[in-house]
Amino acid sequence: MSTQQNAPSPSPAAGEEKPGRIAALAALNALEGAALAVGGIYMLAVGLFGRPDSMQQAEMGGLTLVALGLIPLFAARGLLRRRSWSRGPALITQLMALPVAWTLLRAQGALIPAGIVLAAVAVTALVLLLNPATTDALGIRRGPRTTPDA
């Protein structure tokens, strides 16, 4: 027997292509992160160059949105690299997006379509995140199923 037959197969992160669901999940997280960052930059610009009701509130809101935008962007990068830690920030981002989507849906005018899009993105990402195949692709071990003794 040759030594190649006995050699262990390369890890999924090193040799295999990323499953489509991981790429889609990373894209959704990157989209959310970019939207938050752009919104934050806009708020900062209005705070610095416009006439906001409160300059400090606009600047702090803008900085907060930029900082919050970094979370899904880092999660997207981790997902593309198939890092198990990336699932947590991605999950938190989607859970935080659901109440925001609900608030937008209860608003009036142009905010309703934005709420629909945000809800669709968040629910889709949650389905992809909680899919057992995604958990396996990220190398997250699922604990043994135990039944309680009666």
Q: Of all residues in the chain, what percent carry a pLDDT higher than 70?
A: 83
pLDDT at 16: 52
Q: What pLDDT is recorded for position 7? A: 41
Q: Given a cut of 70, is residue 85 above it in pLDDT?
A: yes
3-state helix, strand, coil in the chain (%, to 5): 75, 0, 25
Residue 25 has what pLDDT? 94
Q: pLDDT at position 148, please? A: 66
Looking at the predicted structure, is the pLDDT value of residue 55 above 50?
Answer: yes
The pair of structure tokens assigned to 103 is 């608030």
C-alpha angle 66-64-111 in degrees, rounded to nearest 5: 80
Summarize pLDDT for 86-95 with one digit per residue, the tens.
Answer: 999 999 999 9
Is 103 within 8 Å of 115 (Cβ atoms)? yes
* Rounded distance between C-alpha atoms, residue 84 and residue 125, angstroms: 16
Q: Which residue is listed with tokens 């040799």?
A: 15
Residue whose structure tokens are 């300059």: 55
Nearest to 94 by CA among 38, 12, 146, 33: 33
Residue 101's pLDDT is what?
94
pLDDT tens-digit series, residues 9-42: 334 444 455 678 899 999 999 999 999 999 999 9
Which DSSP string do the residues of 1-26 spell out, in sequence order? --HHHHSPPPPHHHHSPPPHHHHHHH
pLDDT at 57: 87
